[in-house]
Structure 1
Amino acid sequence: MKVISVSSPLDLWTTVRSVGTFTVACSFAALWAFVKVLRALRWRLKTTQLRGPPRTSFIYGVSHDIVSSKDSGGMYERWTTEYGVAYMIPSVLGQTRIVLCDPRAIAHFYARETWTYVQTPLSLTLLETSVGRGLLWSQGEDHRRQRKALTPAFSNAAIRKLTSVFYDSAYKAKGAWDTAIESSKDGGAVIEVQNWMNYISLDTIGIAGFSHDFGSLDGKRASVTEVFDTFGNNQKASAGNQVLLLLASAFPIITKIPTKRIDLIKKLSAAMGEISDDLLIRSRREKDVNTSGRDEEKSIIGLLIKSEGQDAELHMSKEEVVAQMKVLLLAGYETTSISLTWALIELSRHLDVQTSLREELLAFGADPTYDHLKANFPYLDAVVHETLRLHPPVGEFTRVATQDDVIPLSEPVRTISGEMTDNISIGKGTLITISSAAINRSSVIWGLDAKEFKPDRWLTEDGISGKAKEVQGHRHLLTFVDGPRTCLGKDFAITEFKTVLSVLVKNFVFEMRDGPDTPVEIARGILPRPRVVGEDGIGVPLRVRRYE
């Protein structure tokens, strides 16, 4: 028997305390492991076990393969062909995700999103760090309340009034491009279009949403534009950062570790917060002076100020109000500029499409109104939606089930035990992934030409296959998702997209600088962005000349 030697009462107490602390720590560790095992067993009993690709990494499952892939949507589509419209993929540190690639299953999922299926702990942590507890972060009743408070600012009537703002931004860019072309010797100029689309989008959301001109199109440099640009130019993110983000899906606390990207996210949040505070203070003063205030209350910032009142029907805290402004700044800057850049790339690759679009626009003559843009330009509408189909700004998302559920399928799948089933049981805690890129570009859903940029598919009744019509999103796309979390700014974004594109295509001819076969890759900004291979940052240089 081992004898513990103690030379004094103090030594005795120290020994007892150290042994006690170790015992307590071991007990907590054992309890944590026991709870984890019980949850895993319950999940396995409650969840249909599906087939799927084998684990390629003991630590990452297949997550690293997806993140590093040049075409993650294509990976999901290939797995769908092999394993069916619902399958399981191994994820980080033993986690498993169910992937849905079936229109009926996805419709069921969307109908229950923000209640049964909610943001993952990692998503909540990153969203709170970057934009706060606003519309993107909130769930359930909080999400419904915040969304309802903002909805009037995105009505048809509100967007109709904002169309002139979209035109103003587009014509500012046109003026600068005219000057660049005039100073060139060959009647054309090489223009890095992605930065210009960024500036158009940022100035537009500033004026349309908050009556504030960032002045990016005039060459002004605000703190928020500098941080936005830093994201786009910071392409050499270390492998360590990628590893940390993958591991954070299992342990969100890892996001507290300071990395260059996390520091940038915090810096962006602080910059947007300062601007939001300044805009709110100024707008409150103006509201006090303005006695009518009816139009102002229907603007984005007007509705936010109105919701601050304690007696407001849809009251939002100051923290929530600032978070909404951050969300709108971020969304207004990122998504529309990415879509516009992709449209100019596709039109430069397909000069016949560019010519047809220009002919439609020129035949109309004057700048179209909001109502004309919605109803009188079928080819412009086709180009816009084909761009949104092929290049959704957000390619996939993952949610976690807060309760057990049963998801119906439009066609049966084979389980891991070999049985066929036309529905799958979902246990609480199950991770569900949907790839909008895979669904939008699926050959099974959209036809054999699904990977081609083909606006004509939107112009005939049989151009969209029957399977695509089963997808319950805007125009059968998942670009704006669906259900309670459908993008609130969808019509705002589409109208801005059409307005800017109509001005640019009527006045300029676009070509890839190095020919139509110039390779384009995905670069990492805040969201994935296009970049011409070999360019720095998010460079997309196009050869631009006036249309005569």
Structure 2
Amino acid sequence: MDMLHDKPEGETIEVLSWLTRATLDIIGLAGKLTWTYPVLQLILPKGFGYDFRSLEDKDKNELAKAYAELFNSNAEFSTLIVVKGLLCNMLGIPTKDSRRFDANQSTVRRIGMDLMKDKKALLQKDSHNEESRGRDLLTLLIKSNLAETDSRQTMSDEEVVGQITTFLSAGHETTSATITWALYALAKYTKVQVKLRDEMQSARLGDAPSMDQLDSLGYLNNFVREVLRIYAVVPMSGREVAHDTVIPVGESFTDLTGTVQTGIRVRKGDSVAIPIISINRAQDVWGEDAMEFNPDRWNNLPEAVKDMPGVWGHILTFLHGPHACIGYRFAVEEIKILLYTLVRVFEFELDPSIEIEDKTG
């Protein structure tokens, strides 16, 4: 906030990099924040009780810089790059990109290992100190591991680090990208921005509202749902078939042999793609205006939407079932908190000199 206040009015700010740094700090601090901010109470602990301080200076913060380069390299996609990468991989020839990727992964693993070792040493030194009472993910993970007497049920240090790095990456990049799309929508649809700001300001909830207070803001809820529906930052997911089965379909279809089918036969080991963004925008589910951004649609949903699977909000953004996003509640509240903090105070406009392309659809 201080950084934004210090900028001259009308100056262009590249919000994604700042939001990525903010969400990295939040996922690190979340275990401590649950004790301080009522809005994060009741949410399952997903943080590490550690301050990465990436907002202070990204270039001096190894972790923030490594993650930024990892995800930026993933964004540089073209057929030529893919073919080049496959050929070099088959021939065992390291490329500039692969060396940079490996170096950044090593940085992330090393910092994850340092986090794990420091926390483990504190817990082993004194089981009754303040650290041992923490509800952050890292403390709970290590305490559970230390308490387990059967070595077959414990994780190795490398496995613990794998969990740490997975939660760190999954817990901040997707959220920052979602909030960036939310600000894009507010800048593009100015009436929506005005309506959302009016609701926030008239509610007079102060600077640290509770989760219940934020959830009481009806238009904010509708807006977040619509952002997560139409701008799902993970447009597709995949699953491996566990056993032979037939996937039912809503309408029968004719296959290449001319046979009418009422299901899709799959075999054990097959890969199945889940088209998240396509289902979130399907006209036969959401209506003819499915491609339009309209937060008010959530006040009167079509009946077909109410039958949609999804762990949250009748959308597939967080998937469904036992493999749904484990941190969806944390992510939703984090999005609301950051939007509430920013939209109450600042107005957002698109930089006319920059062309923004939605590559998720």
Fold shared per TM-score above 0.5: yes
How far apart are the structure 1 equivalents of 2:267 and 2:186?
Answer: 46
Change (3 A) 1:380 1:219: same
Q: 1:417 to 1:233 in 2, by over 3 A?
A: closer
Matches within 5 A, 1:23-422: 174-180=1-7, 184=8, 187-208=9-30, 209-220=47-58, 221-231=60-70, 233-234=72-73, 239-243=79-83, 254=90, 258-287=94-123, 288-289=125-126, 291=128, 296=133, 298-309=135-146, 311=148, 315-365=154-204, 366-367=206-207, 368-374=209-215, 376-422=216-262
Ranges in structure 1 where 5+ consecutive residues have no aligned partner: 1-173, 531-548
* CA pair 237-429 structure 1, distance change in 2 beyond 3 A: closer
Contact kept, 8 Å, 2:145 with 2:154, in 1: the verdict is: yes
The structure-2 alpha-carbon separation of the partners of 1:428 and 1:256, relative to structure 1 and needing over 3 Å to count, comes to farther
Q: Which residue of 2 aligns with 1:432?
A: 272
1:513 aligned onto 2:351: yes
Alignment-derived partner of residue 35 in structure 2:
none
Give the drift of 1:293.
Answer: 5.7
SS at match of 1:217: coil
CA deviation after TM superposition for structure 1 residue 469, in Å: 2.1
Give me the TM-score of the superposition, normalised by structure 1: 0.57
- 2:28 maps to a residue whose letter is G
- Structure 1 pair 255–369 and aligned structure 2 pair: CA distance change class (3 A): farther
Match of 1:497 among 325, 335, 347: 335
Q: Deviation digits for residues 151-205 of structure 1, max 9, x if unmatched?
A: xxxxxxxxxxxxxxxxxxxxxxx1110011xxx3xx3322111111111111111
Alpha-carbon distance, 1:435 to partner:
0.9
Task: State the match for 1:162 in structure 2.
Answer: none
User: RMSD in angstroms over aligned alpha carbons?
Assistant: 2.7
Cα distance in 1 between the residues matched to 2:142 and 2:190:
47
Q: Judging changes above 3 Å, is the alpha-carbon distance between structure 1 residues 298 and 386 closer, same or farther for their aligned structure 2 residues?
A: same
Ranked by relative contact order (alpha carbons within 8 Å, sequence separation 6 or more), the top structure is: 1
Partner of 2:289: 449
1:227 and 1:264 in contact (8 A); partners too: no
Determine the C-alpha separation between the residues in 2 that align with 1:468 and 1:295: 45
TM-superposition CA deviations, 1:407-426 (whole Å, max 9, x none): 22232222222222322321
Q: Is the contact made by 1:269 and 1:326 (CA closer than 8 Å) also made in structure 2?
A: no
Report the 3-state secondary structure (helix = DSSP H, G, I; strand = E; otherwise coil) of the residue aligned with 1:475.
coil
User: Which SS does the other structure have where 2:322 is aligned?
Assistant: helix
Report the 3-state secondary structure (helix = DSSP H, G, I; strand = E; otherwise coil) of the residue aligned with 2:171.
Answer: helix
Instruction: Describe the shift of the 1:324–1:470 C-alpha distance in structure 2 as closer, same or farther (beyond 3 A).
Output: same
Residue type of the partner of 1:198?
A: T
Tell me: CA distance 1:333–1:377, structure 2 relative to 1, closer, same or farther (3 Å). same
Shift of 1:275: 1.1
- The offset of 1:361, in angstroms, is 0.6
Separation in 1, partners of 2:96, 2:235: 23
User: In percent, how many aligned pairs have the same letter?
Assistant: 34
Distance 1:315 1:392 in 2: 35
For residues 105-149 of structure 1, the C-alpha deviation after alignment (integer angstroms, 9 at most, x for no partner) is xxxxxxxxxxxxxxxxxxxxxxxxxxxxxxxxxxxxxxxxxxxxx
